């Protein structure tokens, strides 16, 4: 049995649209296996014209693993697996603005996220995605040799601590000023994707606060270079949302950036996340 859907790449390095599936319906095992293959290959996959209730979105996500919850962001009151990402017309900044990889401050960060468009502004609000596998591949041999074996230090503090950026800028953050937000975890600067075996960068400006064993100035200089390199246009794709659109991205190999170029308008998205393992 062969899964019956079409895959249309949206750039040369990352992203593909999937056509011919209704995610509100239960998917057979063959389709799920082929979707996972497309997910691993393209790192972020997009679906159009979907009509998903929270329950249907949750059921779809569970075909790829156990679903997680966010330690600092309020969940949907009826569905603890769901985050309603709401940007109001008067908000100065949005949730998810700026390049980042989700929750790398956790010992076992999310495998991926599934985001569904509920209400969109009349313009703007695109999301950018960047391949961290391609970012690693396009470094020099010398730089790759330097990075292999280095360990990054990650923390929720800069975003979700008492004076964190997200704490001050969005009402979605409800449990920010905690000891947990200031704690630190360590992950390799370069990780191996557990399903494809490809190597990729695993640092991001939202949550990586240093490199183990380096002086702060050394760490800052190296991370600044990696951040700039990791978001080069040649490594990215850009997704224009439409009502009913879905994006599913691989948090193990992707950074993303939710643009906030629609001030004065409302945007509502619904997100679930798939639990992951410790990066290696």
252 is catalytic: no
Check 42, 70, 100, 260 and give the catalytic one. Answer: 100
Check 42, 154, 198, 256 and give the catalytic one. Answer: 256
Please classify residue 65 by burial: count the beta carbons closer than 10 Å to its beta carbon, then call 0-12 exposed, 13-18 middle and 19+ buried: middle
271 is catalytic: yes
Largest interatomic CA distance in the chain: 56
Sequence length of the chain is 280
What are the E-state strand segments in the chain?
6-9, 16-19, 44-47, 83-87, 112-119, 127-131, 151-155, 184-188, 190-192, 199-201, 208-211, 236-239, 246-250, 254-258, 267-274
Question: 126 is written with which tokens?
Answer: 């695109």
100 is catalytic: yes
148 is catalytic: no
Check 91, 102, 110, 250 and give the catalytic one. Answer: 102
Q: Which residues are catalytic?
A: 100, 102, 256, 271
């Amino acid at each position: 049995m062969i899964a019956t859907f079409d895959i249309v790449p949206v750039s040369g390095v990352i992203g593909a649209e999937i056509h011919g599936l209704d995610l509100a319906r239960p998917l057979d095992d063959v389709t799920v296996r082929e979707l996972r293959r497309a997910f691993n290959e393209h790192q972020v996959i997009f679906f159009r014209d979907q009509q998903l209730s929270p329950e249907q979105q949750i059921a779809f996500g569970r075909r790829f693993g156990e679903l997680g919850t966010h330690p600092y962001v309020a969940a949907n009151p009826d569905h603890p697996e769901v985050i309603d990402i709401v940007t109001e017309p008067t908000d100065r900044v949005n949730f998810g603005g700026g390049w980042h990889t989700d929750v790398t401050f956790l010992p076992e960060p999310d495998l991926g996220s599934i985001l569904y468009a509920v209400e969109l502004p009349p313009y703007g609000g695109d999301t950018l995605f960047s391949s961290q596998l391609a970012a690693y591949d396009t470094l020099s041999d010398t730089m790759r040799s330097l990075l292999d074996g280095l360990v990054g230090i990650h923390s929720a503090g800069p975003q979700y601590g008492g004076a964190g950026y997200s704490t001050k800028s969005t009402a979605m953050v409800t449990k920010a000023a905690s000891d947990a937000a200031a704690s630190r975890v360590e992950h390799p600067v370069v990780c191996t994707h557990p399903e494809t075996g490809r190597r990729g960068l695993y640092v991001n400006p939202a949550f990586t606060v240093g490199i183990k064993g380096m002086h702060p100035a050394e760490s800052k200089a190296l991370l600044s270079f990696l951040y700039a390199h990791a978001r080069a246009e040649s490594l990215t794709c850009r997704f224009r949302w439409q009502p009913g659109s879905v994006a599913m991205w691989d948090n193990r190999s992707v950074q993303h950036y939710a643009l906030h170029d629609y001030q004065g308008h409302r945007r509502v998205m619904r997100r679930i996340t798939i639990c992951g393992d410790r990066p290696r």
